Amino acid sequence: MIKHPVFQSLRTFSIYYGIWILLGGVHFFLLYLLYRQPVLPAFTDALIFNFSYSIFGLILWYAIRFGQPKNLSLSTLALYQVVFLAIILFVWAGGSYSLLRLLFPLKYNYQDFLENSIPWRLISGVFYYFLLVLVYYLVIYYQNLQERIKTEGRLNEMVRESELNLLKSQINPHFLFNSLNSISSLTITNPEQAREMTIKLSDFLRYSVSMGNNKFSTLTKELEHIRRYLDIEKVRFGTKLAYDFSIDKDCFDCVIPVMILQPLFENAVKHGVYESTGEVKVETIAKCINGYLELRITNNFEPGAPSKKGAGIGLVNIRERVKLLYKDDQLLKTMVKGNQFEVLLVFPQKKIENTAKP
């Protein structure tokens, strides 16, 4: 249930009664200066009529909440408002009038004024009623709008989570299929290496499963994961594959998306090592600059050598994941310099809960 707007905070409560105090002050000065009423009857009149209406104004909120347009037809809503207005005017004006007559029985001039002022008091009561109704409907509209915005935000977050999970599910089978094919080949040519590769693949997949529900991890964990991958490929390619890591010491605790680096190293192996006759070296450089982690991954390749064809989902997935997580599509850049292919990834750093260095 939506909380009463007047009681949402001390500020809204103070504003509500500050307005009624102001109205009561105007009421008092009109009676005292314009209608020449004594100070005590004028003050009591202003206090009773305005304070009592402020109470009815608070109660009116609950009537408005019950009688929202979505719950009632237009004709029923109009009848509902008229009936509730009549009840408020009868209780408010009648009760205030009776109380003031009891408080000032001998002030005949005031009693005559009180009786003659009933019409304009009722008109002011109608005005206050519709003004409060308008304000309350605006508050309800604003609160419903904020609720819809929150709901849409939660839905968008769920969609974003689904998209991220889909992208990660596309990456993992891609590597798994390649590794299983390699193990299948090695069982014939080199059973010992096949056994070694199976163990490393098991460790690799254990990390993938354990981190599957996480969005982020530390650079330390991700690099350990990448070393497992490169060790697996090293079993297959031997001296054709070399790798080197140059990581600034203040970068190890930096936070990056889980398994975001794996497709980059897969590409380096697939497009560099597969068809190369010489050594292909994959170099990784990490630096922290002005609140950003910069990762630069390069590998050499043989110009003109036919490259392995693939679905091309690696870089596309990374670009989409980075865009979804950081709301920026300029954090991934690729370039070719001679026989060097280079990927630059930039990760804005922010505090992520439940992320710790291993």
Please state, rounded to an integer, the average pLDDT across all residues of the chain: 83
Predicted pLDDT of residue 161: 64
Structure confidence at residue 73 (pLDDT): 72
Cβ distance 216 to 258 under 8 Å?
yes
| pLDDT tops 70 at residue 277 | yes
pLDDT band at residue 67 under the 50/70/90 scheme: low
Reply yes or no on whether the pLDDT at 305 is more than 80. no
**Contact assessment for residue 226 and residue 261, using Cβ atoms and an 8 Å cutoff:** yes
Please, which pLDDT band fits residue 258 given cuts at 50, 70 and 90?
confident
Q: How far apart are the first and last CA of the chain?
A: 45
- Report the DSSP pairing between strands 241-247 and 280-289: parallel
Class in CATH terms, 164-348: alpha beta
Is pLDDT above 60 for 358? no
Q: Which amino acid is at 253?
A: D
- Inform me whether the pLDDT recorded for 254 exceeds 80: yes
Tokens of 25: 């002050």
How far apart, in whole angstroms, are the C-alpha atoms of residue 295 and residue 268? 15
Query: With 50 as the cut, is the pLDDT of residue 93 above it?
Result: yes
Whether the model clears a pTM of 0.75, i.e. scores above it, the answer is no
- Structure tokens given for 203: 């460790």
User: Averaged over 49-58, what is the pLDDT?
Assistant: 94
Is pLDDT above 80 for 153?
no
Long-range contacts of 19-27 (CB under 8 A, 24+ apart): 20/50, 20/51, 20/53, 20/54, 20/57, 23/50, 24/50, 24/51
**Sorting pLDDT into bands at 50, 70 and 90, what band is 353?**
very low
In the chain, the percentage of residues whose pLDDT exceeds 90 is: 37
Q: Where are the domains of the chain?
A: 5-116, 164-348
